[in-house]
Amino acid sequence: MSGKLTDVAVRNAKPGPKPKRLFDGGGMYLEVSPAGGKLWRLKYRFHGKEKRLALGAYPAVGLADARARTEAARKLLAQGIDPSAARKAEKRGEAAEAETFEIVTREWHEKFKPTWTPSHAARILTSLEKDAFPWIGSRPIRELTPPEVLAVARRVESRGALESAHRLVGNIGMICRYAVASGKAESDPTTSLKGALPPAKEKHHPSITDPKELGELLRTIDAYQGSHVVRCALRLAPLLFVRPGELRHAEWAEVNLESAEWRIPAEKMKMQVQHIVPLSRQAVAVLRELHPLTGADKFLFPSVRSSAKPMSENTVNAALRYMGYSTDQVTGHGFRSTASTLLNEQGWNRDAIERQLAHAERNNVRAAYNFAEFLPERRRMMQAWADFLDGLKAGGKVIPIRATAGE
């Protein structure tokens, strides 16, 4: 198309005290602002309403380009399409293309990371980086399909990691539901995958629950010839039956030997709720023995390489292997199963046992207020448990101190 304006006229157009419009024809004009900015615009009518379409800024968009864009808009109008609506739809499409699974995942991870423990947050992201991003990371999350997610999960399943495959699908589902809530997707493709993977077998941590075998293990721990700091960790593990990560990250500032109590901050706990561990006389004795060695450090069990870091997550298990126990016999985590099984057999209140194990509380608000629930009974239970372990270690016939009906 041709019009009234020329390249020279456009280039020499001067600003005035008010916006100035230089018309080219067909509704297209150059708007010159008082500040000197020059914008191409198209005035048109659609369904009886006057509208305007931005065509770009001069000199990035020259006169010929502005006329070409006007011509394209006129062709859309001839087809009954509003050029402004078409422009918005195109931008939405470009935005959707930019919102890939990886980009939305990292946004989701940053948002929820403060609610998780650092190790849990790292595990989630590492799993997605290794098992999902290479195949679906560049896909627009809006276009992700159930077969694509299933293919990702089956790659994990094929290496014998069925539980990890289920966990991966669960995480992808949370990400997609976040995308739906954020307007970045319309549905969660994982909802169609129920039953698509074989059920994962419940994972049990190997543990020793036979009293005679447990007594032998406790005697072996007492005879451990390695680092005395590691030996103290081994002795505390069955007494406290906390998660291995909670034990190795224990700090002296959290422990009160006078009140015989270890208070683990919420941010260190799996369920993000403060946890109280009553300390038996035997546990206090081990801690007093340990204090001269590491009391000046932050952690009870510092790393041999740097006292600013806790000991390695493999240290306790490696010590158990060194003492001759296989991964099928016992692990650091297995002390929790040992305590749970035997304390339940001895008749202690199941709710008190579960609270001491810091197992999941369905209601997070309730959990936040109930970290001290059953505390008097838990104190009695932890002391009775330590006495029971002493009896097993001594090798005699042990009659456990059972909870009474009044407790």
Question: Which residues are identified as catalytic?
Answer: 243, 270, 333, 336, 359, 369
Q: How is residue 191 written in tokens? A: 């909802």
CA–CA distance, 141 with 126 (Å, rounded to integer) = 19
Instruction: Centre a 10 Å sphere on the Cβ of residue 216 and count the other Cβ atoms it contains.
Output: 15
How many helical (H) and strand (E) elements, i.e. helices and strands, does the chain have?
A: 17, 7
Nearest to 98 by CA among 146, 160, 142: 142
The DSSP result for 145-179, as a single string, is -HHHHHHHHHHHHHTT-HHHHHHHHHHHHHHHHHH
Positive or negative, the CA dihedral 247, 252, 257, 258 is negative
What residue type is assigned to position 355 of the chain?
R
Neighbours of 239 (CB within 10 A): 23
**Nearest-angstrom CA–CA distance, 176 and 158:** 24
* Sign of the C-alpha dihedral computed for residues 245, 248, 253 and 256 taken in this order: positive
Q: Is 140 helix (H, G, I), strand (E, B) or coil?
A: strand
- Check whether the bond before 59 is cis (ω within 30° of 0): yes
Helix (H, G, I), strand (E, B) or coil at 367: helix
Give the torsion sign (CA, 156, 162, 168, 170).
Answer: positive
Q: Residue 237, CB half-sphere, CA atoms under 13 Å: how many?
A: 31
Nearest Cα to Cα of residue 291 among 334, 256, 326? 256
Question: What separation in angstroms does the CA of 104 have from each of 5, 22, 134, 164?
Answer: 47, 45, 15, 21
